[in-house]
Amino acid sequence: MIRARLFPSLAALLLLVGCSGPVDFEIDNPTDTPVTLTIDAQPHVIPAHTTVPVSLEPGQHRLQSEKIGTVRMVVYADGIGGLINPTLGEYVIVTEQYVTSKTNSGGLASKVELNDVVIDGPYVKATGLFIPRSWDVGLLGELPTTVVSNSPDTSSDYRTKLFNVPGFFEYLDVEDDLRAAFGPAGYQPPQATVEFTETSLPELPAAFEEQGKPMRDLYAQYLAASDAGEQKRLKKASLKLWQEFAKAQGKLNGKIPVPDDVKATAFSSQFFELWAQPAVILPDA
């Protein structure tokens, strides 16, 4: 089996599956010392270089650690989970392409940058206290060596895997020249702080405020929703409001200044993107 690596599809970020039971996450500690992450007053001690699974019910949870302070995490029903990153370290999503000898594997030029060192390959960097799942294989799994295809003579298949930086270097089987590029001290995790989800939608031109107000209200309600049933009801209502806004924007196309149209698009995009998130991070109330 010949393997090449390509970018994962961004559509994976919009994939929402599952039931309304607990949502699965991984908590990772790639550092040399233990990390304690307290979730809803329950301490979780993650040893050095260890990943542990955890399941959280839909609703609001309070997270606390030395690095992040105290924050709120809202987990949404039917979410796909992801990584809880209490050290705020960097991660890399790698794509493997599986092909046969008759497949034109093509290729996709891409790169990832770590400590100003550029590494070529189909790699995507991911950061944040919560990283939504956009990979097939998490930190606790392994990429398969082969996959089964229904059309082995013409098709190729892809699998994506999440790595922390030490695991990524091991995956690359880092050569001496790449090690040297990081200098005598080696790779150093950058300083980072918690980035919160926007708690309100951006400013709108007056022409759109009639459609924008119910969207603002629904956005705020969803961020505060703790009940799985309420979360689902609000998500269902969001689609109609988004479609009505898009229709109003279409009617004004070419009739309003370009900056106003840009603001309306930014408003609509932020509103739409919230509903694709399996969880959000908010300041402590």
The one-character DSSP state at 76 is: P
- pLDDT at residue number 179: 82
**From start to end of 40-164, where are the E strands?**
42-46, 50-56, 59-65, 69-75, 82-84, 91-99, 111-114, 117-120, 123-126, 130-132, 157-164
In angstroms, the Cα distances linking 128 to 4, 101, 180, 191, 204 are 28, 39, 27, 12, 28
- The per-residue pLDDT for 20 is 67
Flag whether 85 is in a domain: yes
Domain that holds residue 115: 1-195
- The whole-angstrom separation of Cα 56 and Cα 284 is 18
- Residue finishing a domain among 146, 169, 195: 195
Note whether residue 122 is domain-resident: yes
Per-residue model confidence as pLDDT tens digits over 159-203: 899 999 999 999 998 777 788 899 999 999 999 999 999 999 999
Which pLDDT value is given to residue 11?
36
CA dihedral in degrees (263, 267, 269, 274; nearest 10)? Answer: 160
pLDDT at 9: 34
Domain boundary among 150, 167, 195: 195
Q: In this structure, is residue 285 part of a structural domain?
A: no
Asked whether residue 98 falls in the same domain as residue 214, the answer is no
Nearest to 117 by CA among 127, 107, 125: 125
Domain boundary (195, 229, 244) is at 195
Same domain for 230 and 250, yes or no, is yes
Assign 17 a pLDDT band (cuts: 50, 70, 90). very low
Q: What is the DSSP letter of 25?
A: E
pLDDT level of residue 151 (50, 70, 90 thresholds): low
- 201 in a structural domain: no
Is residue 19 located within the same domain as residue 118?
yes
Q: What is the pLDDT of residues 224-245, one digit of tens each?
A: 999 999 999 999 999 999 999 9
* Position 261 in a domain: yes
- Total-model pTM: 0.84
Are both 141 and 234 inside the same structural domain? Answer: no
Q: Are residues 230 and 168 in the same domain?
A: no
| Other beta carbons within 10 Å of 103 | 19
Task: Give yes or no: residues 124 and 214 share one domain.
Answer: no
What pLDDT is recorded for position 10? 32
Count of helices and strands (H, E) across the chain: 5, 15
pLDDT higher than threshold 50 for residue 16 = no
**Same domain (yes/no): 135, 258:** no
Domain count, the chain: 2
Please give the Cα distance from 114 to 196 (Å, whole number): 23
> Is 90 inside a domain boundary?
yes
Domain contains 131: yes
Name the band, by pLDDT with cuts 50, 70 and 90, for residue 152. Answer: low
Identify whether residues 133 and 235 lie together within a single domain: no
Contacts of 94 (CB under 8 A, 6+ apart): 5, 121, 122, 123, 143, 160, 161, 163, 168, 171
The arithmetic mean of pLDDT across residues 41-49, rounded, is 97
The verdict on 2 and 139 lying in the same domain is yes
pLDDT of residue 168: 94
* 200 is a domain residue: no
Could you read off the pLDDT of 91-130 as tens digits, one per residue? Answer: 999 998 887 755 544 555 588 999 999 999 999 999 999 9
